[in-house]
Structure 1
């Protein structure tokens, strides 16, 4: 797998950790987390897409989302919802009917992590650190599109990959001690945690998997992705990309489309627009961005950008990228799509 290519995408989509809750629950309990499209206007209005994650630091619980089997979680587990699905966490006794709380709205004007207490002291206890990451999905985010609806990672003490265990320990300490700068520490830790979870997902993928990550891991397609990301402005031909990949033109084109889900030249055009979006959001002039991503004509670049992003490069630049597209969640919402809710 080309780690540089993955880093390119993670940088381009502006992954950022922002909202955290320190949840102490006593059975029986349930906690409902709404879809990312519901969370963002309340707590993260400047992001396009919200990824939820939960770290179980003590006890056990279940997590359920519409259309998928419930997943049992224990201390040391991390569960991530890359597509922004609504979901419910609950004690083993079964979920009670959630009661809405104005938690996300309060998170914008409170010191984080925000404490949430559920249930009656003395009963079976579960402790969670719940976080919400923001990222861009438009014009083009090949990573989020290829991830499953739920990622579940177990990191027991003494496991081969002990890094996440350290993350859990530090996250727990920061959430409880509320030291100066703790919110920033949790934010950076969350970004690193997400990257590590994605890495483990890639390592665990079977040879039958398809999607952008499968292409990244493939010996031949991965080479082509690497050169496209390294030189997005170059006037690549299909023959040149096939040569870089080490395959014939037809074999390369077939393999790329099979794994990535779109032809190589279409992928290159989309990636150029994502690079352009980042440059525009930082205030670069439209004419210079057009040249930066391989367009001799500003008009041609503007047409291509608007077709993919849904807005003109100038409008994207003025808004810093944030208001160029509505926050979205492609996954279906569950029946528990309420603002973070708790019930005894």
Structure 2
């Protein structure tokens, strides 16, 4: 049975914060590196993933195509949000070696140690490859710059960052029950803290998803759709709940977000549904109800319109990729 809203929206004091709360990371791999100059590593592209580097001792240079090389000092946290290939090295002119040509010591399935380089200055670097498993994270990644560097940590923040990294290293070296969960949650904290710092540092814009989330009324409507996508939200019910006229709400939503509320809700539901198809064994009928459709047929039609293929083919392809 399709669940229906009573027309009220829960009170969200911070729609942007509510959306950040949805961010979860999976597929985490960490590598702790002890690198002695001269050294250089050519990082391949990891499509659909985010890469990060934290300098815990010494310094290095980060070079992403199309961007000026960035010097990373001790305490710097650098994100490459779209997973583009890039280079890290002791000095801008040093030669680079492909990542997978450098031997590593495997401590666990999720943690490696790399010792590489010449006989010069030592740099300690912790790197990771992570992936957002929620549509909120994937939406946010499209808005982030190619390179995001946080190197203005205060003394208190720097100490907290180093303590967090030491905790991650200990958990990976000495696996205990629940250790992977602890590591994943710590990764959430590191990445989300960096994103929050970036959001706080950029000027508020008049258009776009972040501007819409910051808007008192449109942000409230977005947060409601994010939290309860199965509800029968309409332009009329959303407008009434946020205290706007139907026409005023519709025009402001489209102006800020770049598409209508109806289109946004459908796209959000379908993105969530595609993830569920890949990660759960629930039937199409169950998924149809979960995302607010009265029948499996209606759900399948909406899915095909969004992605050009039936939902069953997504699940089939995902299973084949795992075999």
TM-score by length of 1: 0.77
Q: 1:139 to 1:54 in 2, by over 3 A?
A: closer
Compare relative contact order (CA 8 Å, sep 6+) and give the higher one, 1 or 2. Answer: 1
Q: Distance in 1 between matches of 2:105 and 2:315?
A: 29
User: Closer, same or farther in 2 for the Cα pair 1:77/1:29, shift >3 Å?
Assistant: same
- Number of the residue aligned with 2:188: 191
Task: Tell me the equivalent position of 2:52.
Answer: 53
Which of 257, 280, 283 is the equivalent residue of 2:281? 283
- Where 1:141 maps in the other structure, the secondary structure is helix
Displacement of 1:189 = 1.6
Cα distance 1:208–1:237, how it changes in 2: closer, same or farther (>3 A)? same
Q: How many residues align?
A: 305
Show structure 1 runs of 5+ residues with no match: 38-48, 325-344
Which has the larger Rg? Answer: 2
| Further displaced range: 235-244 or 159-168 | 159-168
Alignment RMSD: 3.2
| Cα contact 2:44–2:99 (8 A) shared by 1 | no
TM-score by length of 2: 0.81
Measured after TM superposition, the shift of residue 103 of structure 1 is 5.7
Task: Give the Å deviation of 1:209.
Answer: 6.3
**Are the counterparts in 1 of residues 105 and 114 from structure 2 also a CA contact under 8 Å?**
no
Aligned equivalent of 2:117: 119
Deviations, residues 37-94 of structure 1 (Å, cap 9, x unaligned):
3xxxxxxxxxxx21101111001112111112222211111111111111111223x2
Give the CA deviation at 1:309: 3.7
Q: How far off is 1:223 after superposition?
A: 0.3
Task: Give runs of aligned pairs for residues 100-119 of structure 1, distance below 5 A.
Answer: 100-102=98-100, 111-119=109-117
Q: How does 1:15-30 map to 2 (within 5 A)?
A: 15-30=25-40
Alignment CA distance shift 1:253-1:69 (3 Å): farther
Mark the runs of 5 or more structure 2 residues left unpaired by the alignment.
Answer: 1-13
Any conservation in 2 of the 1:27–1:124 contact (CA below 8 Å)? yes
1:33 aligns with 2:43: yes
- Contact between 1:54 and 1:129, CA under 8 Å: does it hold in 2? yes
Per-residue CA deviation, residues 111-149 of structure 1 (Å, 9 max, x unaligned), is 54222223223x111110010002348799322222222
